[in-house]
Structure 1
């Protein structure tokens, strides 16, 4: 793997009719933000070869919108990514190192945010980058990392929908 994209699902409804968190759907803004982020990632040449996606409704819906910008991508729905902590997400990343040139992991906070921040610490990212990431990881945000041959991740970008005309930074 030479590139990693850690992404949070897009904006969702507050509650699902079922009452279950995993059943919450995207809002109209969530769909719009996911479309924006798909276009932005594709325009920057960040098209994943493999996407590991949580099985929640909101992550699957986010992926469906994103995929329109990427075309044919191998996707794996991973139940263990639902609300997974950063160490679980990291194991998925490490397990896919040899499978894709560009890996996208689409999951939930706080796990996605915490893993992105850990990678920043490990790569000795600049204080400005650290401060920006410490401020939060809004819905549909994506942290992009270059991955060296030893599997070390170095910061390559932090993209949020608001920067491209999307929803509020939250």
Structure 2
């Protein structure tokens, strides 16, 4: 079984800096930490992370990692910024087959499109939340029967959980 953790970056500041340089807000840092606790608690620790080069995505990864016992190896991917669904699917096809749990941190709308395209079944309430929206720091956990990179076509998976920070216990 292969697990893909699809995470939208946490809440970013609305500043006059360039979009790539927008940092997380204090609330965004808190939410990223809470997602890290959630991953640790459920033992869903990625072995590798593919992270957008935008500051808010990099900071989300950094904050999340403070809650993990063993942070994953990371690859900062410029293609994750303003990526199309096709680019995200192409990136997934390059993931080595020996990785069983991978984290992808990116941006809407493509991160939400990817999660919806891959998650064909799962708990009804989670699917309903996923279809309604993909807010900052939301996480989709999708499992597949085949290893990454084993097929030219994107395999459909099972949505295990869809978590939004507002649904997590207050820290």
Q: TM-score, normalised by structure 2?
A: 0.87
Q: SS in structure 1 opposite 2:40?
A: helix
Q: Structure 1 stretches (4+) deviating beyond 4 angstroms?
A: 124-129
Residues 75 and 134 from structure 1, CA distance in 2 versus in 1: closer, same or farther, beyond 3 angstroms?
same
CA distance in 1, matches of 2:24, 2:71: 22
- Please identify, of 143-152 and 104-113, the stretch whose mean Cα deviation from structure 2 is larger: 143-152
Q: SS in structure 1 opposite 2:92?
A: helix
2:46 is the counterpart of 1:42: no
Aligned to 2:136: 139
What are the residue-to-residue correspondences of 1:15-164 with 2, within 5 Å?
Answer: 15-16=15-16, 18=17, 20-70=18-68, 71-120=70-119, 123-125=120-122, 128-149=125-146, 151-164=155-168
Structure 1, residues 3-37: CA drift from partner, whole Å, max 9, x if none?
00010000010124x3x111100000000000000
Name the one with the larger helix percent.
1
Consecutive unaligned residues of structure 2, counting only runs of 5 or more, are none
- Please identify, of 150-159 and 56-65, the stretch whose mean Cα deviation from structure 2 is larger: 150-159
Q: TM-score, normalised by structure 1?
A: 0.88
CA distance in 2, matches of 1:144, 1:126: 12
- Please identify, of 142-151 and 98-107, the stretch whose mean Cα deviation from structure 2 is larger: 142-151
CA distance in 2, matches of 1:124, 1:165: 25
CA distance in 1, matches of 2:143, 2:118: 11
Consecutive unaligned residues of structure 1, counting only runs of 5 or more, are none
